Amino acid sequence: MNDRVLVLNQDFSPMAVCTVQRAFILVYMNKAELIKKVGNKSIRTVTSTFPMPAVVKLNRYIHIPYKSVVLSRINIFKRDNFRCQYCGASDNLTLDHVLPRSKGGATNWKNLITACKNCNAKKGDNTPESAGMLLENKPYKPSYIIFLRDFSGFTKEEWRPFLMQKNKVSI
């Protein structure tokens, strides 16, 4: 019962990820409907058996303000797949400002990358170009849907149709 369930708004837009227990309560109280279940798994009570939810949709539309991914060390690491963006190493990771702060570089999604301590020291107070280092991937700000789909760690096959971007979100 430690599984996670994707919660969709009434318009089928991804809204959140919750526990199986929370999703079951939403369905049982008629606040949501079961859209996809987890294979043959079920939830049993003393007198009944219910399918285990994988995706539920709320019955009422909930207006939520624009959701964005919080800029944090762990989210930068997730975006960069826990690999140095210069050499590909996965040990001794730290954050690096592509354009150093001393040269006006901001602390934001498009200027922070994951780097190993060796590459970060080698680059020093230079830009990657002036240090003769190439970035594997250009830094970007992930949208909430992309983050849920690719980096949450909870993505299931049943979620895939609901996490595909129908409209490109400007980043």
β-bridge pairing 14-19 and 4-8: antiparallel
Q: Per-residue pLDDT tens for 102-140?
A: 999 999 999 999 999 999 999 999 999 999 999 999 999
Range of the domain at 155: 4-65+144-163
- Structural domain tally of the chain? 2
Q: What percent of the chain is helix, strand and coil (3-state, nearest 5)?
A: 25, 25, 50
Stated as kind and residue range, the H or E segment containing 78 is: helix 73-79
Token pair listed for 140: 């970007």
- Whether residues 58 and 79 share a domain: the answer is no
Instruction: Let me know if residue 94 belongs to a domain.
Output: yes
137 inside domain: no
pLDDT confidence bin for 143, thresholds 50/70/90: confident
Query: Please, which pLDDT band fits residue 58 given cuts at 50, 70 and 90?
Result: very high
- Same-domain status, 12 and 56: yes
pTM attached to this predicted model: 0.61
Whether pLDDT at 146 is above 80: no
Task: For residue 139, tell me if it sits in a domain.
Answer: no
pLDDT 10s digits, 154-163: 567 788 777 7
CATH no. for residue 97? Answer: 1.10.30.50
Three-state SS at 169: coil
Radius of gyration, alpha carbons of the chain: 21
Question: What tokens does 57 get?
Answer: 């949709």
Q: Is residue 133 part of a domain?
A: no
